[in-house]
Amino acid sequence: MKLRKIILAVLILFFTCPVFCKNIAVIPFQNITGDKEKNWVGAGFSETLTTKIVKVKEITVLEREQLSKILEEIKFQYSGAVDEETAVEKGKMYGADVLVFGSFQIVDDTLRVTARFVDVETRKVIDTAEANGKISDIFKLQDEIAFSLMDSLKIVLAEKEKEEIKVNPTEDLTAYQWFSKGYEALTLKLYDKAIEYYTKAIKINPKYAEAYNNRGIAYYNKGLYGKAIEDTTMAIQINPKYADADTYLFIGNAYLFQLLYDDAIEYYTRGIKLNPKDSDGYFCRGMAYDDKGLYDEAIEDYTKAIQISPKETVIYHNRGEAYKNKGLYDEAIENFTMVIKLDPNNIHYIHRGDAYYDKGLYDEAIKDFTKAIKCLAKTINPDPRFPKLTTEITGSCYDKRGNAYYKKGLCDKAISDFKRAVDLGYYSSLESLKKFFNINY
């Protein structure tokens, strides 16, 4: 259960950005040459363009996980048409202000790149840009597109920012090509291939911090958290710019997935010191404290996260669970009620029902378990990948309601619910039928 809770919670990301910032997402550039072997150009171009523009203080970039969700929604491929309408719609959902779409064409050794900057709110093209040169000039072309974007957004760059934009990830074009192939594989979730390509880039350039960082992401997505930590730590050693709040959050999550709570807390704390306005750090550190049984510390961190992100249901849920674990059922009920208020169709009725049950308020518990069953039937579409999980949750609701009926002496209803739970694959109810009613079902 702990690991399931961690997986559910870590996948939820929050965004806090000063009002003067522009949150930008760069969609991987499309290959219009018809040669799939050249896909790496568009992949690398968009990835490096992203790392260049994020150096501008008035710019933030959309989190990688959110960009990945957009690419999933539009069924992104490096060759073929991009569903820009859906991309803009999803970009708005995830907090992007501007989306950058681009394409490239290669003729002999000449590279032609075009880009369009789209305002997510108005859905209108802000401006377009074009850069031409040799493939070996790819970094120079990226600079041209980056500066064009800044001009289009009317962002005045400081001299230091101009120089930082011009800094390239590597001077070796072959290493960069393998890095770009790695990013192509990473965006397509071909993690083994991504690791293979990033490793080749690193062999050519052992000081390639970006390659270590991205290979760490690929390892993380494969569940190889130890290797992810090693690579991310190496990226920090090579380039201290990676020692930021997001990186420490990433390392903390890798430790958390390994249930190494003290190490996770250490890195979350480092991230919080660098960015005390990021709710993610407090929330994730709260989970680590929670799983260590340090509920007071967990509640304190969840409360800080709520102050920053007051509409995130998962934080209220976790704080409610922490209160319930402390036996503070009224506080737990209050938090679960807030979850339900924010999302009326949510199955968190289950959790409030648990709190009512533990407090001995069986009528209220029965009402909530009944609502949870209705919500499950109404809002959860059975996913062929996870049919067992869907029916198991429903079965657990019948089991919980059966226990509440038993406590009230409503034996027929209890037996009916326990049997229904078993039918749905929740076999723990077999024990209840045997123990309470001596029924072998």
> What are the domain boundaries of the chain?
23-168, 181-242, 279-437
Q: Closest Cα to residue 47, out of 211, 276, 262, 275?
A: 211
- Share of residues in the chain with pLDDT > 70 (%): 92
pLDDT computed for residue 73 by the predictor: 80
pLDDT, tens digit, for every residue of 283-302?
999 999 999 999 999 999 99
Architecture category of domain 181-242 in CATH: Alpha Horseshoe (1.25)
| pLDDT of 58 over the 80 cut | yes
Fold adopted by 279-437: 1.25.40
Closest by Cα among 358, 351, 322, 357 to 337: 351
Could you tell me the two tokens for 251?
A: 């390392």
- Distances in Å between the alpha carbon of 412 and those of 165, 360, 369, 420? 72, 20, 17, 12
pLDDT at 77 over 60: yes
Euclidean distance between CA atoms 192 and 203, whole angstroms: 17
Question: ∠ CA(266), CA(60), CA(238), 5° rounding?
Answer: 50
Structure confidence at residue 5 (pLDDT): 53
Decide: helix, strand or coil at residue 129. strand
- Stretch 222-228: mean pLDDT: 96
Secondary element (H or E) of residue 100: strand 98-107
* Residue 340 banded pLDDT, cuts 50, 70, 90: very high
Q: Answer whether residue 7 shows pLDDT above 70.
A: no
Residue 18 confidence (pLDDT):
35
CATH number, span 23-168: 3.40.50.10070
Indicate if the pLDDT at residue 383 is higher than 70.
Answer: no
- What's the pLDDT tens digit per position in 253-278? 999 999 999 999 999 999 999 999 98
Is residue 56 within 8 Å of residue 19, measured between CB atoms? no
What is the average pLDDT score of the chain? 88
Please give the C-alpha separations between residue 114 and each of 26, 52, 128, 215, in angstroms, as whole numbers: 13, 17, 7, 28
Regarding pTM above 0.75, the answer is: yes
The answer to whether the 181-242 and 279-437 domains have the same CATH topology is yes
Mean predicted confidence (pLDDT) in 346-366: 93
DSSP code per residue over 229-281: HHHHHHHHHH-GGG-SHHHHHHHHHHHHHTT-HHHHHHHHHHHHHH-TT-HHH
pLDDT at 220: 95
Residue 321 pLDDT > 70: yes
Residue-wise pLDDT for 168-203, tens only, equals 888 899 999 999 999 999 988 999 999 999 999 999
